[in-house]
Amino acid sequence: MSQKVRVRFAPSPTGPLHIGGVRTALFNYLFAKKNGGDFILRIEDTDQNRYVDGAEKYIVDALNWCNIPFDEGPSKEGKFGPYRQSERKHLYKKYADELIQKGLAYYAFDTAEKLDFHRKDHESKGKTFIYNWHNRLKLDNSLSLSDDEINKKLNDGVPYVIRFKTPQDQKLQLTDIIRGNIEIDTNILDDKVLYKSDGMPTYHLANIVDDHLMEITHVIRGEEWLPSLALHQQLYDAFEWQAPQFAHLPLIMKPVGKGKLSKRDGEKLGFPVFPLSWNESVGYKETGYFPEAVVNFLALLGWNPGTEQEIFSLEELINEFSLERVNKSGARFDPDKTKWYNQHYLQHADVKTVADSFLNILSSKEVLPQLLETTYIEQVVTLIKERAVFIGDLWGLGDYFFVAPQSYNEKAVKKQWKAGTPDIMQQVFEVIESISDFTSENVEAIVKNWIGEKELSFGKVMPPLRLIIVGDMKGPHLFDIIALIGKAESLERIKKAIATL
RNA sequence: GCUCCAUUAGCAUAGUGGCUAGUGCAUCCGACUUUCUAUCGGAAGACAAGGGUUCGAUUCCCUUAUGGAGUACCA
């Protein structure tokens, strides 16, 4: 009997979704869709202190922008809801109690201060304080206390937590789809808190209970969870539940230096780390990235198809994706590669769509209304988009199609504007004025012919002419520009330059 | 410190017990061009180290080094 694949993305709403989180969501989504399964969003808000307003909405918006919507989640309630752990609070206590009854967990009354003291004390001696089999009988809990004492504390309302009683001297055999088999000695594990004194479960308990209740078949999450896999497996065993399969994704590392990618790296090196803007941090969307490009480069971060293909649509990714081809080692984040992807998507985007977005930018500039015409913009886009990575680059690349140069690049003027230049430009003016068939090819032919006749060099004519038309030594084929902006505008720019330079 | 995970060029990666280890980004050179950040062409560049196993190891095993994660009443 094969079960329907159900995976979940379970972020905690403590801030904006980091790009690494988006990748985790994406891999879950791809795996689910590849296998005809469901992708569930569950909000893990068991830590009330760290809750950030708006973070949940951000997560949902980010997923939608990336085009990886969830099938079930907050506001898309399926039969397994609610999908916020804070709204499932009442569910967890009985599971913690069940473990206590089975003798697999116990009450602990140690105060935070006391534990803190132990930890600091051990640290100062170069050791690590571990709450487990070797010292639990010396601490303040229902294993070390008499029944009377325990009941009195419980009745008196003394705060307590419930800890998992990690068994001694066991070798756990764990399986991870990406990493294979892992063996863990239970003696090095600590008795993790399952239930907090504020009446909320910890991540560990809530996670296992919810994954079980929501019939999750595969847990795909970041590598930072690998060390707690042992606990989770034991919890499934303790409840006598069938555990899902696990896959731990490699971490995304910073572009330079050591460690995992952080918000700071983005600020330092000037690239986004969030899909959408959040306060001062500009997102991928606002920087001008296509969601398709973001999804594409994210997919190749820690996964590859085994072929040389690097460009994938979402559909292709769904087809090709497999957890077996996910890498074991950390994936270094390369901002240049993300640009490369975006440039690719921009070059292959429909000209109409690009022109449309460009129009939005143009509207905010001081451009003559008659130039904001669709076919004109599309022609401009076709000429200049080759060098653009983002749609936002288009203005800097082609402003001269919309406004005459207000100034001329000084260095270029120095180099190109010689004593005889105004005279030559005056002649060019006359040549151009006489042309009636104003196509790029025809203008080029006539001007080049004239240069030949006059025995002038290209270097004396073309660079200054470009300077006049563009204001700088940049842009596509000059005659394409002249033809597009038209005869009248070209003549005007020449006239103006002769007068001012 | 301890536990677990990893290690192919600057970076990301493919691949194989045995021909010149493949690809992309970046780099350098060249071409085109009136210019260039574009495009095209070319070049350079790697199996972390040391031991084994083997006729033979980048590929299997061990050790070391390096990197990563975790070590909370956070997720």
Which positions on strand B lie below 7 Å from a protein C-beta? 1-8, 11-15, 22-26, 33-39, 67-75
The answer to whether A121 CB is within 7 Å of strand B is no
Out of A76, A153, A196, A263, which one is annotated catalytic? A263
Mean of pLDDT values over A434-438: 84
Please report which confidence band the pLDDT of residue A4 belongs to, taking 50, 70 and 90 as the band edges: very high
Q: Which nucleotide is nearest to A222 (CA to C1')?
A: B69
| Minimum-distance residue to B13 (CA–C1') | A304
The rounded distance, in Å, linking the Cα atoms of A242 and A225 is: 19
Give the residue nearest to nucleotide B39 (CA to C1'): A386
pTM: 0.89
Is the predicted pLDDT of residue A422 greater than 80, yes or no? yes
Give per-residue pLDDT as tens, A320-332: 898 988 888 888 8
* pLDDT for A259 beyond 80: no
- Please, which pLDDT band fits residue A90 given cuts at 50, 70 and 90? very high
Q: Residue A112 CA to nucleotide B58 C1', Å?
A: 52
CA-to-CA dists, residue A47 to A177, A197, A231, A249, angstroms: 30, 12, 20, 24
pLDDT band, very low/low/confident/very high, at A1 (cuts 50, 70, 90): very low
Percent of chain A whose pLDDT exceeds 70: 100
Contact call for residues A495 and A450 (beta carbons, < 8 A): no
Sheet containing strand A193-195, strands side by side = A105-108, A161-164, A193-195
pLDDT band for A2, please (50, 70, 90 cuts). Answer: low
Nucleic strand B within 7 A of Cβ A51: no
Residue A395 pLDDT exceeds 50: yes
Residue A385: what pLDDT? 87
Q: Identify the residues numbered 375 to 434 in chain A whose C-beta atom is closer than 7 Å to any atom of strand B.
A: 386-387, 397
| Residues 342-381 (A) near nucleic chain B, CB < 7 A | 343
Kindly determine whether the C-beta of residue A332 is less than 7 Å away from any atom of nucleic acid strand B: yes
A436, pLDDT greater than 70: yes
Query: Would you place residue A180 in the very low, low, confident or very high pLDDT band (cuts 50, 70, 90)?
Result: confident
Quick one: average pLDDT of A252-274?
82
Within residues 427-486 of protein chain A, the ones with CB less than 7 A from nucleic strand B are: 458-459, 462-463, 466, 473-479
* ipTM above threshold 0.90: no
- Mean pLDDT on A85-114: 93
Distance A261 CA to B31 C1' (A): 40
Output the six-digit token pair for A98.
């069940």
The distance (Å) linking the CA of A221 with the C1' of B64 is 32
Report the range out of A254-263, A314-323, A370-379, A459-468 with the highest average pLDDT: A314-323
Are A269 and A335 a contacting pair, CB within 8 Å? yes
pLDDT of residue A122: 84
**Segment of A44-58, A124-138, A355-369, A410-424 carrying the highest mean pLDDT:** A44-58
Instruction: Confirm whether any atom of chain B, the nucleic acid strand, is less than 7 Å from CB of A162.
Output: no
Per residue in A216-251, pLDDT (tens digit) is 999 999 988 988 999 999 999 999 999 999 999 988
Q: How far is the CA of A20 from the C1' of B55 (A)?
A: 48
Q: What is the mean pLDDT of residues A147-176?
A: 91
* C-alpha dist (Å) from residue A382 to A137, A346, A354: 76, 11, 10
Mean pLDDT of chain A: 88
Nucleotide nearest to A230 (CA to C1'): B4
SS (H, E, C) A107-150: EECCCHHHHHHHHHHHHHCCCCCCCCCCCHHHCCECCCCCHHHH
Q: Is A495 a catalytic residue?
A: no
The residue type of A226 is L
